[in-house]
C-alpha cells in the first residue's frame, strides 16, 4: 500500500521558511533594551526587535516580566504574528550571518509587502472602522 502523497502549498512553504527563520537564536546589537534577567531560553533579539513588547519604550533598564506586556492569547499565532517574528529573525540573519539571510528569505520577506499580499501592517479593525 502506497502512503498518501503530501501536498505542500506555496503559503505552507512560506510558513515553513518563516518557522525556520523564527528558530534562529543569535546575539545582536540591541535596538531596544534586553532585560538582564531575561529567561535563558529566550533569544535576546526577541526583546531587541520588539517581538516581546516592552510596556514603556523609554525604559532603558526593563525588568522581566514586570515591564513587558503579558501574553493574553494562548491560541496559535495568526499569520501576521508569524510574519512579524519571521521578519525580526530575518533582520537578525541579515546582520549576523556572512552573506546575510539568503535570497530565498529576502524574496519571501519582500513578497509580504507587495501589493496584493497579506501585509504585516494589516489591521482588520481598520477595514471595519476606517
Mean pLDDT along residues 105-116: 82
CA angle 17/117/95 to nearest 5° reads 45
Higher pLDDT, 24 or 72: 72
The proportion of the chain whose per-residue pLDDT surpasses 90, expressed as a percent, equals: 31
Contact 123, 117 (CB under 8 A): no
For residues 86 and 24, give the distance between their C-alpha atoms in angstroms, rounded to a whole number. Answer: 10
In the prediction, which pLDDT does 83 show? Answer: 86
Residue matched to cell numbers 498518501: 4
The average pLDDT across 30-52 equals: 88
How far, in whole angstroms, is CA 20 from its chain's centroid?
11
Which residues partner with 54 through β-bridges? 68
What CA dihedral angle connects 61, 28, 57 and 117, to 10 degrees? -160
Convert the pLDDT of each residue in 46-97 to its tens digit. 899 888 889 998 999 999 999 998 776 655 667 788 888 889 999 999 999 9
Amino acid at each position: 500500500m502506497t502512503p498518501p502523497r503530501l501536498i505542500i502549498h506555496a503559503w505552507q512553504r512560506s510558513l515553513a521558511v518563516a518557522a525556520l527563520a523564527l528558530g534562529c537564536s543569535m546575539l545582536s546589537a540591541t535596538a531596544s533594551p534586553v532585560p538582564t534577567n531575561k529567561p535563558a531560553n529566550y533569544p535576546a533579539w526577541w526583546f531587541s526587535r520588539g517581538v516581546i513588547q516592552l510596556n514603556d519604550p523609554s525604559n532603558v533598564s526593563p525588568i522581566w516580566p514586570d515591564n513587558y506586556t503579558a501574553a493574553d492569547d494562548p491560541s496559535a499565532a495568526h499569520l501576521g504574528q508569524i510574519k512579524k517574528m519571521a521578519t525580526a529573525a530575518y533582520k537578525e540573519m541579515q546582520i549576523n550571518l556572512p552573506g546575510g539571510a539568503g535570497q530565498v528569505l529576502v524574496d519571501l520577506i519582500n513578497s509580504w509587502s507587495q501589493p496584493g499580499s497579506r501585509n504585516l501592517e494589516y489591521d482588520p479593525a481598520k477595514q471595519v472602522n476606517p
